[in-house]
């Protein structure tokens, strides 16, 4: 690549170099590079006064099975000791790494080792790589020399700009890893020390010691890689991948739901499906395809979805006569048939639901569970003769959604109504259960239950003759609702409860609630301990507990502790030879790390109540946090500081749409950007809570909207959001 | 339209007119037409010696709500009395029909009433119409005069050719109806007579009489419209629509699964899902999209699917850089990740399943449940270290499929292995449960469980290091299976059990197993009888029976009998005032129409056992038929007569692929085409049954293949098929 090409690539990403230089060819030897830089004709004019050299190392697996091996590119300060890379890569499942030779580097990056650098990357190349950036570069304002994808050119970039540039290339947000090599090396050393003093499975029996626990904690931090409070986005995706909930997929914005997350969805499905069947809702399945004519029938509605609709235009080798859309939601798929099926008032109510996937081809950065191009959900579509019936159902369903969050996922939500600006396109009004992610201070829409009014029924002619009409031929139009709950639930749960050890699962949705780990066995005691573990699992299963004895021979107890903690299993039982003698087990709670001893005799009653206690505690803790972050704000100047303080501002609002636009614009302008992946730093209205009683009564004509000074109507939650 | 255009449209459909004629403009008056024909200059040369006039009538709803009303076009002999059309259309949900005026006809068919005819139709126009063809034309070899979509031209066509032409236009196979007006009028008269003697709900109590039953039967035949034995395809779709299992959808080849069929799918899902979880299979969800590169990795496999793959090329208004396929099945979606997840022999077995929909854009005539462009299924994908384990699982799953058919759906199947020609593209061998539709004598593949061998694992590198290898680096490739069961199950069940009254549901999958109908009530007794019905429903629900009391005031008992019989509910209980006095109910079986009296006291024990008896009887009857139609054939000259006799020929087969091609070709050539919608009249191998013991032992080198004279290997089922 030429220096010009490199500079224009940087410009395209709005990264401004601090200088650039053409020079004689150099090698990977830093002395050679320094000398070439200093001897360059325009050195003085084009070079910053101070800069640090970088190095770029490319690794490959020892014996790649095919050409499709994943290269690991390390970009570090010249002086950084990158030895701990091995540990880091091991956690990514990459082992046996060797320095790649010129042929291999050239094959992947079109440059040889003398030339290759961060600037050899582009979107495609980063996509097939693991890129590891030295954290002392990523967070630094110092200036670094980077080879211009050539041994004959150098670009000077601020550390933060190198980071920003790589982030802009890494569309999937999964290829770039910022690593603190020094810290990693330290932790590795501590871990190795602890490990050597830790009994191997064939060593004599020993209860887990304090030292063991320390080791486990360290190991966990290694595994998740980053701290929740420090780099929330990376933490989130790491937790999902490490806990085996999810894997990335080679179509951008699509993810694989592995059994560990899908089983949570199944639990939600079972519970919600039973509840709606009690309400008389029946399941059905409508096709995933919609003709463009039908899709575009309702104007407001389609305007809301059009930019994200995926179109099928070809089948086999034939072009379709008309492109066919994949449903982004099924209102327009279903309602022409509602019009056909509803012929008289006796055909009301019609209540159908389906469990399916929908496609919304988002162009914003995707985020697993929260913003994906295909996602799983249920969509209920009901039609009633009267508005009253529709109104009642909207709230019944919303309360079921609240219960999914609060009772199954232990996630507190605030039920409320959306502002006119935020309501469902084409509907009458939208109700929501609004969640909150404390770490980022952002609100998140949990699930919505819409009253569509008569807008769609008039559009699609879902009408009957008025049975009470005096004049013949008067028609009554259906009152309709639609309501949906998606796998987003799982993402919210992970964000709220997860910690630096990984996932924390509420017992009611955990596919394994109790894991039993044999500890401190030797060849003599092994079988006895294994049998005891197995028996405990059986006993627990008999009382309906989802228990599993982890009897794998090939892993140490400490490794198993890590593994199941990372996966968020609510309770761990440890059983060793001495525990058997004492008819006891050690019980460890995942949610608060408490450990205690429990009598084996009482397990069948104590464990179920412990699980319920954990469930309740998790909810209570999360609720306390959410409550503390709902801040009553009555002066405009307090709004942005409240948001910056990771809180939601609850203001007495005028409910005027222009005022909402204004709040968004003003709060966005002054706001500090805290999470670059989140869609917006401006605040929008999250919900107008149904329960207004927690705030002082609004005095009509007296209480004023702090944003515009108009008459306030209701207390409304404003916040940054997902 | 010009006469030329009409003739070329006919030619495109390979319909050969018996003559055509340009003449003076005519009106709808037959005398005017006859006269114009006779006065035409080339009359003698271009006109068949004998022909009949046709008439074309177009109807519209009295007050169409919008422009999108459905016109009904009736094509009949001039002399046919089409008065019974009203009854027929009522069954299609079209009421209040009036003759359309010129403006309306022109709007729909581009011709006025003097010109409009069958030849005004094309694919688009038939698609927005209901077309009713006089059965005395459809089945006739006589020649008919048809207006050439113009009042100044006439084409002469054989009755059968008119039928064939309309069928060729009717791609959805749902727009064209062949109606016997004379028979319909007769039935209508019979029904009206019976009806007038039947007690209205407010009339005095009376047990259903023999006459009532007769009426119901007649009414049913009307409702389904055609007899199963006479026009199986129309019967099938009518049953599906009338029973509210399914509705047609405006994207061709896609159908709406209404709750009445979807609940059957849910029952199958629940049962099968429990069973596979017992085997250690876990559910997951992989994206519906596949990149073309991944899809095309396995050559044989993709060759099998490529012509049917739907491609997304656009999102919103942006063209995608690369088209993305919608999965036709998920082997290539999943296996790159299996390669990633399986790193050591400890990662075996990997057993995942998903419940999803897949898309195969078939260009053959679609048929609900059997051949649709999107369908629901489960697909299991498992990977093992050894072939033995894979072999065992293939058969375990196949046996679960057998049990879904036999134990849930009461449909007998033959488990066996597919020939090399018929196996899954890219797999090692395919096992199948093979069903049979007695009415058409065709075999139908019920579900398949494939051993993929190591073909995919080598392609996608799903491999581990050999834990026992002496030389390092030797790799073991996974042995893989995939297996799928789809909503086709429901279609097979309908075809096997349905009768001329409609659907017949096996109790285990019926969403309502017992319907309770109050009979013979008057104003005084109504509440008492309704309460009794309600109480019976409650009692039955307590013992786990899915019971429903139909207490709708607006319908007569006879109407309710029809309604629930059409929907296939296994048991009907009738309760009237006298029954209450006697503490009894009348019980009617849907499967064999038997009626008896049952004591209310014993309902809670008698009904569950009755339902099990019905389930068993339905299976036994179907099994007897299938067994009788499996004909042992050892001479070639018996093969085609066996097929023509609606049987399956079981022959001692050589298992040579060329011989199978030859059998197909020879049997197709000589076969009589019995069902024009079925894909082929040639016989293919359906399955090599695992249980060979029902036929004489094959003597190696002695028993010869009747098709080619080669050495026979195993008894193999050959038949026409879906």
CA dihedral B402, B404, B409, B411 (to 10 degrees): -10
Q: Do A262 and B255 touch (CB under 8 A)?
A: no
Window from A57-66, A592-601, B648-657 with minimum mean pLDDT: A57-66
Indicate whether B209 pLDDT > 60: no
Instruction: Please tell me the predicted confidence (pLDDT) of residue A192.
Output: 57
Of A251, A256, A291, the CB nearest to B250: A291
How many angstroms away from the CA of A318 is the closest CA of chain B?
9
**Residue B470 — very low, low, confident or very high, per pLDDT cuts 50/70/90?**
low
* B234 φ, ψ (degrees, to nearest 5): -70, -40
**Above 50 in pLDDT, residue B200?**
no
Residue B675 confidence (pLDDT) above 70: no
B463 neighbourhood in chain A, CB within 8 Å: 65
Residues B10, B13, B15, B21: what is their CA dihedral angle, to the nearest 10 degrees?
0
Q: Would you tell me the crossing angle of helices B259-278 and B387-403 to the nearest 10 degrees?
A: 150
Residues of B in contact with A266 (CB under 8 A): 283
Looking at residues A97-111, what average pLDDT do you find? Answer: 86
**3-class secondary-structure state, position A4:** helix
A257-273 mean pLDDT: 98
The whole-angstrom separation of Cα B202 and Cα B516 is 18
Higher per-residue confidence, A679 vs A581:
A581
| Chain B partners within 8 Å of A310 (Cβ) | 312, 314-315
Task: Write out pLDDT tens, residues B509-518.
Answer: 999 999 999 9
Given a cut of 80, whether residue A203 has pLDDT beyond it is no
Q: Name the residue among A462, A488, A492 with its Cα closest to residue A381.
A: A462
Tens digits of residue pLDDT in B121-166: 998 899 889 999 999 999 888 899 999 988 889 999 999 999 999 9
Instruction: Examine the pLDDT at A122 and tell me if it is beyond 50.
Output: yes
User: What is the band of B206 on the pLDDT scale with cuts at 50, 70, 90?
Assistant: very low
Closest-CA residue of B relative to A511 is B282
How high is the pLDDT of residue B2? 79
Answer whether B310 touches A (CB < 8 Å). Answer: yes
Q: Do B251 and A552 touch (CB under 8 A)?
A: no
Report helix, strand and coil shares of chain A as percent, to nearest 5: 40, 25, 35
Portion 526-565 of A in contact with B at CB < 8 A: 552, 554
Between B651 and B87, residue with greater pLDDT: B651
Q: What's the average model confidence in pLDDT over B26-53?
A: 82
Residue of A nearest to B332 (CA): A250
Question: Residues A64-87, buried b or exposed e (16+ Cβ, 10 A)?
Answer: eeeeebbbbbbbbbeebebebbeb
Establish whether the linkage from the previous residue to A349 is cis, with ω within 30° of 0. yes
Nearest to B284 among A250, A262, A340 (CB): A262
Residue B191: per-residue pLDDT: 62
Mean confidence (pLDDT) of chain A: 89
Query: B255 at the A interface (CB within 8 A)?
Result: yes
Q: If you count residue pairs, one on A and one on B, with CB atoms under 8 Å apart, how many are there?
A: 159
Beta strands in B239-373 (DSSP E): 246-248, 255-257, 282-283, 289-291, 310-315, 318-326, 350-359
Alpha carbon A477 to its chain centroid, in Å, reads 41
A314 interface with B at CB cutoff 8 Å:
yes
CB of A255 within 8 Å of a chain B CB? The answer is yes
Kind and range of the H or E run holding B564: helix B557-566
Question: What is the rounded average pLDDT of the residues A611-625?
Answer: 98
| The two three-digit tokens of residue A316, written as one number | 């086999």
pLDDT above 70 covers what percent of chain B?
A: 92
Is there a contact between A289 and B374 if contact means CB atoms under 8 Å apart?
yes
B288:A359 CB<8 A = yes
ipTM: 0.73
- How far away is chain B from the Cα of A12, in angstroms, using its nearest Cα? 19
Q: What is the pLDDT of residue A209?
A: 34
Question: Secondary structure of chain B: what % helix, strand, coil (to 5)?
Answer: 40, 25, 35
Residue of chain A whose alpha carbon sits nearest to that of B92: A340
Question: Is B308 at the interface with chain A, CB within 8 A?
Answer: yes
Q: Count Cα neighbours of B354 within 13 Å in the Cβ-side half-sphere.
A: 24
Confidence at residue B446, expressed as pLDDT on a 0 to 100 scale: 98
Res. A270: pLDDT tops 70:
yes
Cβ atoms of A360 and A462 within 8 Å: the answer is no
Neighbouring C-beta atoms of residue A508, cutoff 10 Å: 20
Q: Which residues, including other chains, have CB under 8 Å from residue A486's CB and lie 6 or more apart?
A: A375, A376, A377, A447
Distance CA B374, CA A351 (A): 23
Q: Which residue of A has its CA nearest to B310?
A: A315
Query: Nearest 5°: phi and psi at A453?
Result: 65, -140
Judged by average pLDDT, the poorest of A493-502, B138-147, B468-477, B557-566 is: B468-477
Instruction: Report how far residue B683's alpha carbon sits from residue B674's, in angstroms, rounded to the nearest whole number.
Output: 13
Q: Which of A249, A294, A374 sits opposite B250 (nearest CB)?
A: A294
Six-digit token string for B118: 């069958």
Residue B184 Cα distances to A166, B108, B226, B238, angstroms: 76, 28, 10, 16
- In this structure, of B82-91, B212-221, B690-699, the range with the lowest mean pLDDT score is B212-221
The answer to whether residue A357 neighbours chain B at the CB level (below 8 Å) is: yes
Would you say A643 and A443 are in contact if contact means Cβ atoms under 8 Å apart? Answer: no
Which of A67, A70, A259 to mutate to probe the B interface, most B CBs <10 Å? A259
Q: Which of B251, B254, B334, B465 to mutate to test the interface with A (most CBs of A within 10 A)?
A: B251
The more confident residue out of A204 and B18 is B18
* Mean pLDDT in residue range A534-559: 95
Residues of chain B contacting residue A312, judged by C-beta atoms under 8 Å apart: 310-313, 326
For B372, nearest residue in chain A (alpha carbons): A287
Q: Which residues are paired to A74 by β-bridges?
A: A57, A132
Contact partners, residue A434, CB within 8 Å, separation at least 6: A413, A414, A415, A416, A443, A444, A445, A446, A686, A687, A717
Nearest CA in chain B to A253: B287
Q: Is B287 on the interface with A (CB under 8 A)?
A: yes
CA distance A346 to chain B (A): 9
Q: Which residue has the tokens 């989802």?
A: A546
Look at residue B297 and tell me whether its pLDDT is greater than 60: yes
DSSP letters for A618-667: HHHHHHHHHHHHEEE--SHHHHHHHHHTT-EEEEEE---HHHHHHHHHHH
The three-class DSSP label of residue A266 is: helix
Subunit contact B262:A254, Cβ cutoff 8 A: no
Position A471 scores a pLDDT of: 63
Chain B residues near residue A345 by CB distance under 8 angstroms: none
pLDDT at A675: 44
Q: In which element (H, E) is residue B262 found?
A: helix B259-278
Is residue A182 less than 8 Å (CB to CB) from chain B?
Answer: no
**Mean per-residue pLDDT for B18-33?**
86
Distance CA B428, CA B453 (A): 5
The model carries a pTM of 0.73
Q: What is the mean pLDDT of residues B431-458?
A: 97
pLDDT of B672 > 80? The answer is no
Within A443-570, where are the H helices? 455-460, 488-497, 526-542, 557-566
Residues 6+ apart with CB under 8 A from A152: A22, A23, A24, A25, A26
Instruction: Give the closest residue to B660 by CA, choosing from B699, B722, B713, B696.
Output: B713
Q: What is the pLDDT of residue B301?
A: 79
From chain A, pick out residues whose CB is under 8 angstroms from the CB of B363.
Answer: 316, 318
Chain A: residue whose CA lies nearest to B250: A291
Mutate to test the interface with A, among B255, B277, B310 (most CBs of A within 10 A): B310
Question: Which pair of tokens denotes residue B628?
Answer: 């009788």
> Could you tell me if B386 and B479 are in contact, meaning their C-beta atoms sit under 8 angstroms apart?
yes
Spatial CB neighbours of B644, under 8 Å, sequence gap ≥ 6? B671, B672, B674
Whose tokens are 């503390």? That residue is A628
* Partners of residue B251 in chain A, C-beta under 8 Å: 287, 289-291, 324
Lowest-confidence segment of A2-6, A375-379, A477-481, B92-96 by average pLDDT: B92-96
Chain A residues with CB-CB distance to B472 below 8 A: none
> For residue B402, is it left (φ>0), alpha (ψ between -120 and 50) or beta?
alpha
Q: What is the pLDDT of residue A6?
A: 87
Judged by DSSP in three states, B76 sits in strand
A124 pLDDT above the threshold of 90: no
Residue among A521, A426, A415, A434 at smallest CA distance from A481: A426
Of A288, A313, A363, nearest to B357 by CB-CB distance is A288
Q: Is B635 on the interface with A (CB under 8 A)?
A: no
> Which helix (H) or strand (E) element contains residue B277?
helix B259-278
Phi, psi angle pair for A198, to nearest 5°: -90, 135
Chain B, residues 474-503, CB within 8 A of chain A, namely 475
Which domains are seen in chain A, by residue range? 3-194 (3.90.960.10), 256-288+327-497 (3.30.930.10), 514-618 (3.40.50.800), 633-719 (3.30.110.30)
DSSP states of B374-398: EEEEEEEEEEESSHHHHHHHHHHHH
pLDDT score of A39: 80
pLDDT for B607 beyond 90: yes
Answer whether residue A199 shows pLDDT above 80. Answer: no
Cα of B668 to nearest chain A Cα, Å: 28
Q: Quick one: which of A122, A80, A128 has its CA closest to A104?
A: A128
> What is the average per-residue pLDDT within A2-15?
85
Backbone angles phi, psi at B382, to 5 degrees: -125, 155
Please give the Cα distance from A682 to A661 (Å, whole number): 10
Report the 10 Å Cβ neighbour count for B585. 26
B274 touches A: beta carbon within 8 Å: no
Check B247 against A337: CB less than 8 A apart.
Answer: yes
Partner-chain contact A461 B317, CB within 8 Å: no
Cβ-based neighbour number of residue B595 at 10 Å:
12
Kind of pairing between the strands at A52-61 and A143-147? parallel
Residue pair A513/A572 in contact (Cβ under 8 Å)? The answer is no
Alpha carbon of B90: minimum distance to chain A alpha carbons (Å): 13
Which of chain B's residues have a Cβ under 8 Å away from the Cβ of A362? none
Task: Kindly state whether B473 is in contact with chain A, defined as any CB-CB distance less than 8 angstroms.
Answer: yes
What contacts B233, CB < 8 A, 6 or more positions away?
A: B173, B367, B675, B677
What b/e readout covers B258-295, taking b as 16+ CB neighbours within 10 angstroms?
A: bbbbbbbbbbbeebbbebbeeeebbbbbbbbbbbeebb
Question: Would the CB atoms of A316 and B308 count as touching at under 8 Å?
Answer: yes
Per-range mean pLDDT, top range of A23-27, A30-34, A462-466: A462-466
Let me know: does A344 contact A465? Beta carbons within 8 Å.
yes
Average the pLDDT over A188-205 and give the result. 45
Please check whether residue B326 touches A, CB under 8 A: yes
């Amino acid at each position: 690549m030429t220096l010009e090409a490199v500079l224009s690539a940087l410009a395209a990403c709005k990264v401004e170099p601090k200088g650039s230089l053409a020079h004689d060819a150099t090698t990977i030897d830093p002395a050679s590079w320094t000398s070439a830089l200093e001897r360059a004709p325009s050195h003085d004019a084009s070079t910053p006064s101070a800069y640090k050299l970088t190095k770029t190392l490319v690794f490959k697996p020892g014996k790649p099975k095919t050409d499709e091996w994943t290269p690991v590119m390390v970009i570090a300060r010249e002086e950084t000791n990158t030895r701990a890379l091995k540990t880091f890569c091991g956690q990514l499942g990459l082992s046996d790494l060797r320095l790649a030779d010129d042929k291999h580097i050239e094959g992947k990056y079109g440059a040889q080792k003398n030339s290759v650098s961060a600037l050899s990357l582009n979107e495609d190349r980063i996509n097939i790589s693991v890129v590891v950036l030295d954290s002392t570069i990523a967070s630094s304002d110092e200036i670094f020399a980077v080879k211009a994808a050539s041994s004959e050119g150098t670009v000077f970039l601020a550390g933060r700009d190198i980071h920003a540039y790589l982030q802009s290339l890494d569309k999937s947000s999964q290829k770039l890893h910022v690593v603190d090599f020094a810290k990693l090396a330290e932790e590795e050393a501590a871990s190795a020390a602890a490990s050597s003093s830790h009994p191997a499975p064939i060593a004599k029996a020993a209860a887990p010691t304090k030292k063991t626990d320390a080791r486990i904690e360290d190991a966990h931090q290694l595994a998740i890689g980053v701290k929740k409070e420090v780099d929330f986005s990376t933490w989130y995706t790491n937790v999902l991948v490490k806990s085996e909930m999810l894997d990335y997929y080679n179509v951008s914005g699509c993810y694989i739901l592995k059994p560990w997350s899908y089983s949570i969805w199944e639990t939600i499905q079972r519970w919600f499906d039973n509840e709606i069947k009690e309400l008389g809702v029946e399941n059905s399945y409508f096709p995933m395809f919609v003709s463009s004519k039908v899709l575009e029938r309702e104007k407001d509605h389609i305007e809301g979805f059009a930019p994200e609709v995926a179109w099928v235009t070809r089948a086999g080798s034939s072009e379709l006569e008309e492109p066919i859309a994949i449903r982004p939601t099924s209102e327009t798929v279903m309602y022409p048939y509602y019009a056909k099926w509803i012929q008289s008032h006796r055909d009301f109510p019609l209540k159908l639901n389906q469990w399916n996937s929908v496609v919304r081809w988002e162009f914003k950065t995707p985020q697993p569970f929260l913003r994906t191009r295909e996602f799983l959900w249920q969509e209920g579509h009901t039609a009633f003769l009267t508005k009253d019936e529709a109104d009642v159902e909207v709230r019944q369903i919303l309360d079921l959604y609240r219960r999914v969050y609060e009772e199954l996922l232990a996630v507190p939500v605030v039920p409320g109504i959306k502002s006119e600006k935020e309501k469902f396109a084409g509907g009458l009004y939208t109700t929501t259960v609004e969640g909150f992610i404390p770490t980022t201070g952002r609100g998140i829409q949990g699930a919505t239950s819409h009253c569509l009014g008569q807008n769609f029924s008039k559009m699609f002619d879902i009408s009957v003759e008025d049975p009470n009409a005096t004049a013949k031929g008067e028609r009554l139009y259906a009152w309709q609702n639609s309501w949906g709950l998606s796998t987003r639930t799982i993402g919210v749960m992970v964000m709220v409860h997860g910690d630096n050890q990984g996932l924390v699962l509420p017992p009611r949705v955990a596919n394994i609630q109790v894991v039993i780990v044999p500890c401190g066995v030797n060849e003599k005691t092994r079988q006895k301990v294994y049998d005891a573990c197995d028996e405990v699992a059986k006993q627990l299963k008999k009382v309906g507990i989802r228990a599993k004895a982890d009897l794998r021979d090939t892993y140490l107890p400490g490794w198993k502790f890590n593994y199941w903690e990372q996966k968020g299993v609510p309770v761990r039982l440890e059983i060793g030879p001495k525990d058997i003698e004492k008819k006891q087990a050690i019980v460890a709670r995942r949610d608060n790390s408490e450990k205690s001893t429990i009598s084996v005799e009482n397990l069948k009653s104590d464990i179920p109540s412990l699980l319920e206690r954990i469930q309740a505690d998790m909810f209570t803790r999360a609720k306390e946090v959410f409550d503390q972050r709902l801040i009553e704000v009555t002066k405009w100047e307090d709004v942005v500081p409240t948001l910056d303080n990771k809180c939601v501002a609850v203001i007495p609002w005028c409910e005027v749409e222009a005022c909402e636009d204004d709040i968004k614009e003003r709060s966005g302008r002054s706001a500090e950007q805290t999470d670059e992946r989140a869609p917006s730093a401006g605040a929008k209205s999250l919900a107008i809570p149904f329960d207004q009683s927690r705030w002082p009564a609004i005095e009509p004509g007296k209480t004023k909207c702090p944003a515009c000074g108009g008459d306030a109507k209701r207390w409304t939650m404003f916040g940054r959001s997902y």
